[in-house]
Amino acid sequence: MLRLLHISLMLFAMLFASPPAVAADAPAGSVRVIEIDGIIGPATASFVAQQLESAEAAGDRLLVLRMDTPGGLDSAMREIIRGILASPVPVATFVHPEGARAASAGTYILYASHIAAMAPATNLGAATPVAIGMSPGGDGGPQPPAEPGGEQGKEKAAKPQTGSAMERKAVNDATAYLRSLAELRGRDLEFAEKAVVEAASLSSTQALQAGVIDLVAEDLPSLLAQLDGREIEVHGKTVTLATADAEVLVVQPDWKLRLLGALANPQLAIVLMMIGIYGLFFEFTSPGFGVPGVAGAICLLVALYALHMLPVNWVGVALIAFGAALMVAEAFLPSFGALGVGGLVAFVLGGLFLIDSQLPAFGLSVPFL
């Protein structure tokens, strides 16, 4: 069994230690285009960081971050923003195509970029932190309606209520963070605060009028045409963009990053965990066959890696492991179903508590469990 586990560890290391693919033969002075499409997670942050390094090494004129996102994890968002702020290559975030959005974490990234652009019929905003379980601008409970002209209504309009001290800390931290990005890039401060405190949103036209973004462009050629000759500041130096004749290099994530993105799925993680547990169980109870042990060890290692990339509540992981142990024990210690039922209850509760986030894409549904 130790030999099988050793083989599994070697396969796992080979899978995730291979060098990341980088766009080859990138001509000097190119405009590099990458995409954020969907939830922002660790795989997204890794891809953006990789391409920022490649853009610097290749001497690219501009990196365009084409974005359509409902938001994502705070840690991944901040990693992307740190990369943008440290990049010597100008970064233009472009909310595209029509109908796309830069909500929540996307708004922060848009504010942090050297150039903020949007396509028509797109929107940004709703940047209130939601992973802490709060409702924007309120304490989460029903509030009596205030008279529009009354003192109560004026007071609430001037100072939105935020429930607990923890919620206020999160909102104040997010507000200060977005405000600091707005000050750095010379963007509208008023909307930055409203986007966090009131979950306010703007269309592309409204954002341009309010000074939140720099321009509206229908597509990538239009964006590059408008940016040509524009002067921006990068690390205290004035840079004149020359994008009209630049070659456009569209870079797609390599297989490793696509795999990591697929693994950041709680349903897949929990299925792999159960396959791993039962694979090892069958190997221990029927030694010598080999396949269940190898498959189980690989699945369990991949599941643990997937959980590492997710906002995991480790109490949920412990409950799932305890539930699986009880169900396995039922096979050896007949208890008229008591251990099996207890294991099932612990497993379901662990699944419900597993993901410590209210972002829909990172949650586990009750029907799935």
What string of H, E and C letters represents the secondary structure of 285-323?
HCCCCCHHHHHHHHHHHHHHHHHHHCCECHHHHHHHHHH
Residue 6 maps to a domain:
no
Question: What pLDDT shows up at residue 334?
Answer: 66
CA angle 91, 95, 101 (to 5 degrees): 135
User: In sequence order, what are the residues at sequence separation of 6 or more whose Cβ sits closer than 8 angstroms to the Cβ of residue 178?
Assistant: 107, 108, 111, 127, 192, 193, 195, 196
Domain boundary among 234, 253, 272: 253
Q: Do 343 and 274 belong together in one domain?
A: yes
Question: What pLDDT shows up at residue 159?
Answer: 46
Q: How far is the CA of 57 from the CAs of 22, 25, 61, 83, 333, in angstroms?
A: 11, 12, 11, 14, 62
Residue segments in the chain with a per-residue pLDDT below the cut of 50? 1-2, 4-5, 12, 15-26, 131-162, 358
**Residues paired with 92 in a beta bridge:** 64, 115
CATH label of the domain that carries residue 63: 3.90.226.10
Instruction: Say how far apart CA 4 and CA 201 lie, in whole Å.
Output: 54
Q: How far is the CA of 361 from the CAs of 59, 60, 254, 351, 369, in angstroms?
A: 36, 34, 22, 15, 15
Strand 91-95, strand 62-68: pairing = parallel
Residue 267 maps to a domain:
yes
DSSP state of 131: T
Q: Do 68 and 85 belong together in one domain?
A: yes
Q: Do 59 and 75 belong together in one domain?
A: yes
The residue segments making up the domain with residue 298 are 258-362
pTM score of the predicted model: 0.69
Amino acid sitting at position 251: V
Instruction: Say how far apart CA 261 and CA 253 lie, in whole Å.
Output: 10
- The sign of the CA dihedral 291, 292, 297, 300 is positive
Question: What pLDDT shows up at residue 285?
Answer: 72
Q: Do 230 and 315 belong together in one domain?
A: no
Instruction: Say how far apart CA 348 and CA 175 lie, in whole Å.
Output: 37
